[in-house]
Amino acid sequence: MSDEFYIKRCLELAAIAIGNVNPNPMVGCVIVANGKIIGEGFHHKYGEAHAEPNAIKSVLEKYGDEAENLLKQATAYVNLEPCAHFGKTPPCADLFVKYQLKKVVIGNRDPFSGVDGKGIEKLKNAGIEVLSGILDDECKYFNRRFFTRIQKQRPYIILKWAETANGYFATTDGHQKWISGALAKRLAHQWRTEEDAILIGKQTAVIDNPQLTSREWPGKNPVRLVIDKNLQVPQSNNIYNKEAKTIIFNEIKTDVVDNIHYIQMEDMHFYLAQKIAFQLYLMDIQSVIIEGGASILKQFLEANLWDEARVFASANSWNQGIPAPVVNGDITAQIIIGNDKLSIYINK
């Protein structure tokens, strides 16, 4: 099997933990000896063991007394450079050195300053052969949330909305009217389990009274983020229930009441998108879905603060309404979801 084959297997393993390891990257590890996979592991949850010790542990448990000799003949594959620093867990590079692996093959070099080549250097200094840059672009895209946070000091930003066949986004009279269908809604709930947070503005909170949970898909709820400058959303609104941590960006106060966190900002009418993006970075929120309304989406689009847009287009048309945002990006996929068409845009 080729190096690319085993790195792809690392990505398959790592993807099992999507949404559970942030702000860490998703990492998988495969250990091969004599042309056979002898151990596998992935990073399950933030604060717990990384992929490499989980893979080594699987070899030790499976092969017992033979394990150490097998590891000395083995090649470890990992989609991201093994860490070389003490964080919540010991350095993974040290573990490969301890068991004297023959070779380590890496997808991406880690952009985090605490690693960034130091893991590779530690392995080479111990006499371990190192090959890096295998499926480099594919591995970077896989961990695009992590790379964005480290390199751009902001979260990975996903814009999401639904529009009618003739381009309307919401009603003009302010009442709620569904555009996309049940399958689109279920998919959107799956997405919520995969990202750290979900953001809406005051108007959406008042008109739609959304729960912003992932109740139609198994997994965690995202952190709910609401822009409510003057704290006008009623306390009876669903965002104030106890189903998820909720952060209210406002100009009135900073306070914590149970699961509701109020964060005061100054001059929210200036550079709001930039302020929120930086605040989320400081809070270690690695990715966010922005679901509107139109004004909030427009501000992030105009500030060019977005990475991906997921747009559902209904087969139905309205006679009138508020025009949907206009996104200029490269379409990377178009998928039929029930009666809706989903278009995925990437900001290049």
CA–CA–CA angle 310, 311, 315 (5° rounding): 150
Residue 216 annotated as catalytic? no
Buried b (16+ CB within 10 A) or exposed e, 130-147: bebebbeeebbebbebbb
CA–CA–CA angle 5, 6, 12 (5° rounding): 95
Spatial contact of 296 and 290, defined as CB atoms under 8 Å apart: yes
Provide the 10 A C-beta neighbour count for residue 5. 12
Continuous segment of H or E residues that includes residue 54 = helix 51-63
ω into residue 293 within 30 of 0, thus cis? yes
- CB within 8 A of 265, min separation 6: which ones? 249, 250, 251, 275, 279
Buried b (16+ CB within 10 A) or exposed e, 159-174: bbbbbbeeebbbeeee
CA 240/CA 291 separation, integer angstroms: 18
Indicate which residue of 52, 81, 163, 308 is catalytic.
Answer: 52
CA 75/CA 134 separation, integer angstroms: 14
Sheet holding 223-227, edge to edge: 255-257, 260-264, 246-250, 223-227, 197-201, 287-290, 156-163, 308-313, 340-346, 330-337
- CB within 8 A of 54, min separation 6: which ones? 29, 41, 42, 43, 44
CA 141/CA 191 separation, integer angstroms: 17
Q: Which residues are catalytic?
A: 52
